[in-house]
Amino acid sequence: MARRLLTLLAALLLALSLGQPSAQAASFSNPVKAQKGADPWIVHHDGNYYLVTTSWTDVITLRKSPTLAGLATAPSVQVWQGDAASRCCNIWAPELHFLNGRWYLYYVAGQNVSDYNPTQRSHVLESTGSDPMGPYRYRGQLNSSWMLDPTVATIDGQLYLFGSTHNGTQNIVAARMSNPYTVSSSFSTISTPTHDWERQGGTVNEGPEILQRNGRTFLVYSASGCWTPDYKLGQLALTGPDPVSASSWTKKSTPVFQRSDGNGVYGPGHNGFFTSPDGRESWIVYHANDSASDGCDNGRTARAQKFTWNADGSPDFGTPVRLGASQTGPSGEPSTVSTAYTLTNRNSGKCLDVAGSSSADGANVQQYACNGGANQRWRLEDLGDDTHRLVNVATGKVLDTENCSSADGAGLRQWSWLDNTCQRFRFVATDGGHVRIVNRATGKVADVANCSTADGADVRQWTWLDNGCQQWRLNPA
């Protein structure tokens, strides 16, 4: 009996030392972002995923969710807006990196809307604290000429910047950095499109991303024209001592991830990597089209899937998963997914509420002690233009500015969806995880009348005063 107990105890200790399997994660299906899903990047930090993608406008927005599935319905919160004519427009390929206790957002932006391509440059923002949602400040431009898709990585203790430049062909370049916002060497070309599969519709190497495991470093990049169904991923392996020297990289002769006509996935590319919350699994996020005729635009959606590793230590990305196919979420996630939110006022701690749970058009929207009622739960539906409609779970009606008035004090109410700008709102990050709720038509914000803390206090629109009565926390509910 004693021997059996000792055997059981040894087995238990072994299981604990290896780590027990995580609880079953919630299932999900692609896309993880259907609106503005190009050039996706995901990081997992402090219990949440953060997703950022190309906006095509002058803003950068982040989505935040404790589950991968939840990203599909999470609100897009604006954390930055173009602040100068030289970087006003067409923000592309943002990436979020945590370095030296700060978050850095690397992105591409240009000078104008119509003839944007020649003016695109790479830039970097720095968080003022340790929150991925910011606030952020501008730290600088990273290059003097055209360069896309900046990313950074630390290799053997040295920080490097990688990007894509054009010199007859579109190439991958690298440079050393002295800190996250300062390039300290010239750029060197480390990869050019030499294989036929890198030259479909265009001679392109772009979107470099570093993947590291067990002391090995890989650079995974996008090849061929993004406007073709043959956009795909290639791979370099670091086999020499100097990451800014082309001779230190060995290119794989075949693609590592490409179209799957059988699964209806075309042009998969411009990826990122992340690990599951428990650190057990490797995941890739990428964009793709669901038709061979789709192009290089907002029709691309963000998708994610788990990948494995080959016996030689290189990644095996497999085949792109069919859109809508059920997948098990990353291990270590919560098993439940929220698709609705409560909006809690920073000053009063009370919730945005449809008075009396009325289903009538024109019913007042107020603040009230949070009680979990459906009339305090809202679906925050992304409309694809950096705005949302706020749909009340109890009534199915939307937050609306009364009579489309632009006046301070105009009431916020619920109304049937009319698809006008008075019913569209942007979420703009402030600090401490709060946002201001900005009406697209008026530019004014959701405000608790007279900063009241009372149940039933009216919620109206008002000019932004930067006080707690105009700030809200979005909580999954």
Are the C-beta atoms of residues 384 and 36 closer than 8 Å to each other? yes
39 is catalytic: yes
Distance of CA 90 to the CA centre of its chain: 16
**Which residues touch 458 (CB under 8 Å, ≥6 apart)?**
364, 366, 411, 448, 449
Gyration radius from the chain CA atoms: 24
Token match 């499109």: residue? 193
Q: Sign of the CA dihedral 231, 208, 280, 17? A: positive
| C-alpha span between 30 and 471 (Å, rounded) | 32
- List alpha helices for 74-178, DSSP H: none
CA–CA distance, 221 with 74 (Å, rounded to integer): 28
Cα four-point dihedral sign 69, 416, 441, 299: positive
Rounded distance between C-alpha atoms, residue 289 and residue 306, angstroms: 19
Name the H helices within 165-255: none
Give the strand pairing for 425-429 and 77-81. Answer: parallel
307-322 per-residue burial string, b: 16 or more CB within 10 A, e: under 16: beeeeeeebebeebbe
Marked catalytic residue, from 58, 95, 206, 382: 206
Given phi > 0 = left and psi -120 to 50 = alpha, else beta, which region is 201?
Answer: left
Residue 38 identity (one-letter amino acid): A
Phi, psi of 468 (to 5 degrees): -65, -20
User: Which two structure tokens, joined as six digits, stand for 21?
Assistant: 């399997």
For residue 189, which of 231, 133, 248 has the smallest C-alpha distance?
248
Strand partners, 473: 344, 434
Q: How far apart are CA 218 and CA 309, in angstroms?
A: 12
Catalytic (active site) residue 206: yes
- Which residue in the list 39, 198, 353, 382 is annotated as catalytic? 39
Q: What are phi and psi of 85, to 5 degrees?
A: -60, -30
- Active site residue ranges: 39, 206
